[in-house]
Structures are given as C-alpha cells and as structure tokens.
Amino acid sequence: MSDQPALQLRDVSRHYVQAGEPLRILRKVNFEIWPGQSVALIAPSGAGKSTLLHLAGLLEHADGGELFICGAATSHMNDKERTALRRDAIGFVYQFHHLLPEFSALENVMMPQLIRGLAKEEAGRRAAELLEYLGLAHRAGHRPAEMSGGEQQRVAIARAVANAPRLLLADEPTGNLDPKTADHVFDALTQLVRATGLAALVATHNMDLARRMDRRVTLEEGQVVELP
Ligand code: ADP
C-alpha cells in the first residue's frame, strides 16, 4: 500500500475570521507524506502548525481543496466516517501526555485497542510488546504519576500507535521535557516510524531533533515549504 501517500493535501485552504477580517492560514497547500517518512514541521508560533495538524487529524474541515488519508478523499465524509478513519488510521501525540491517571501504563496502551473492539488478551499482548519496544517493560504496571516525564511520553507514543495507524501526528511531543530526555523520546519515536512504515508529521521547535527526521518543512505565507 506504499503506492499512496499516507497524507496528501491538494490545494487545501483554511482561514479564520478575526475582528471581521479573514485570516488566511493555509492557501492552497499541496503537500504529501509517504509511508515510512518522518517530517518535522518547524514554524513560528501563529504560523498555522496546529491548524495543519488539526486538518490532517480530521479534527477540522478545510475551506477548500481535498485532503486524502491513505488515498481516501475525506472532504465529503460525514462525521461518523471521519471518526472511524481517524480511529483506524491516525495516531496523536501531544505535548502533554494526557494519559489516564487511574490506569497503568499497560492499561493506557490497551485502551484504544479495546475501544476499537479488540479482545482484552490481544490488546494486552500488543500493549506489552509496544512497551517493551519502547524500553518500558518494567513500567507496565505503573500509573502515570509513578513514572518520569520521558517515560510518560513514551507510554503516550505507545498508546498513539497501539491501533497500528498509518499516520502519526505529534504536536511538540518533547516540548515539555529536558534536552536529554527529549532526545531519548525522539529516538524512540523515529525508530518506531522506521520499523513500522508509519508516516509521521511532528511539529517541533527543536532544530537538532528536526535534523534527524527525513524531511523538514515550514509554513510561509500560507504555503508548506521544504527546508534543506
Ligand atoms: P501555530 O500552531 O503555528 O501556533 P495556529 O494554527 O494555532 O498556529 O494558529 C494560526 C493562526 O490562526 C493564529 O494567528 C491564530 O490566532 C489563528 N487561529 C487559530 N485558531 C483560530 C480560531 N478558532 N479562530 C480564529 N483564529 C484562530
């Protein structure tokens, strides 16, 4: 299935209205990410990074153009179809992990799989495998409060990929961590992308981390522009 981009934007536009004036954030953007590619999104605050991530995550609608997930056009989908596609094909990692505090690391990673209808045993097996892959086997039974920030964020990454999505969207996933821990979490993320053929779009301010990704893009005057 790698003959289709995991994410493709064709002439996608998005504007907001502020004080009665249109604020044109994305202007006929053309952009794609292929399976196995990691792309860093680096742009100043207010440039439209969250807007792009929300559109790619089917959390917002474009005003115009077409957005494809794994080749499927999304603009004419109803809410139910968008929700199903988001659940099956897209994983999210945020700056703050949003793990459920009452549940263990293992249970947190099982949760999206159970919601999708997987049997408990199967979900548990996959969750344990992912935690082990991310170097967290010894933390499987711990609640978020009993783990370090870097560990919590790695659990959040495991949760995001638990349903084997095709596209991973991350908004400053290491923005809340000290540099060494950020480094470690980032390594875990990029390794996972390469090993699984996922496509990843990661908003970050950290140029060192961005350099380790396959591509770097920025937003300029409503366009996605490739950086060297
Ligand atoms: P970034 O993530 O790069 O900081 P955003 O995508 O959050 O940028 O926002 C881009 C611009 O759009 C900002 O100027 C912001 O104020 C504006 N904006 C974002 N969301 C809305 C909204 N719901 N209504 C009006 N303006 C918005």
Q: How far is the CA of 14 from the centre of ligand 1 (A)?
A: 10
Task: Report which ligand 1 atom has the smallest distance to the Cα of 219.
Answer: 3
Residue nearest to ligand 1 atom 18, measured at CA: 16
Mind listing the pLDDT tens digit for each residue in 75-98?
999 999 999 999 999 999 988 878
Residue range 179-206: mean pLDDT, rounded: 89
- The CB of 153 under 6 Å from ligand 1? The reply is no
Q: How far is the CA of 48 from the centre of ligand 1 (A)?
A: 6
Mind listing the pLDDT tens digit for each residue in 196-205?
899 999 999 8
- In degrees, to the nearest 5, what angle opens at C-alpha 169 toward C-alphas 178 and 66? 150
Residue range 163-172: mean pLDDT, rounded: 94
Mind listing the pLDDT tens digit for each residue in 123-152?
999 999 999 988 999 999 999 999 999 999
Q: How far is the CA of 62 from the centre of ligand 1 (A)?
A: 14
Q: How far is the CA of 202 from the centre of ligand 1 (A)?
A: 17
- The CB of 73 under 6 Å from ligand 1? The reply is no
Mutational pocket test of ligand 1: of 12, 15, 18, the residue with most ligand atoms within 8 Å of the beta carbon? 18
Q: How far is the CA of 10 from the centre of ligand 1 (A)?
A: 21
- The CB of 134 under 6 Å from ligand 1? The reply is no
Please name the residues in contact with 175: beta carbons below 8 A apart, sequence gap of 6 or more. Answer: 95, 204, 205, 206
- The CB of 48 under 6 Å from ligand 1? The reply is yes
pLDDT of residue 195: 84
Within 57-215, residue ranges assigned H as helices are 79-89, 105-115, 120-133, 149-160, 179-196, 207-211
Average pLDDT of every residue of the chain: 93
pLDDT of residue 2: 61
Residue range 204-224: mean pLDDT, rounded: 93
Output the six-digit token pair for 98: 């949003």
pLDDT of residue 1: 47
Location of structure tokens 């490739």: 226
Task: Report which ligand 1 atom has the smallest distance to the Cα of 54.
Answer: 6
Residue range 7-31: mean pLDDT, rounded: 96
- The CB of 22 under 6 Å from ligand 1? The reply is no
pTM of the shown model: 0.92
Output the six-digit token pair for 64: 């115009």
| pLDDT above 90 (res 73) | yes
Q: Give residue 9's Cα distance to chain centre.
A: 16
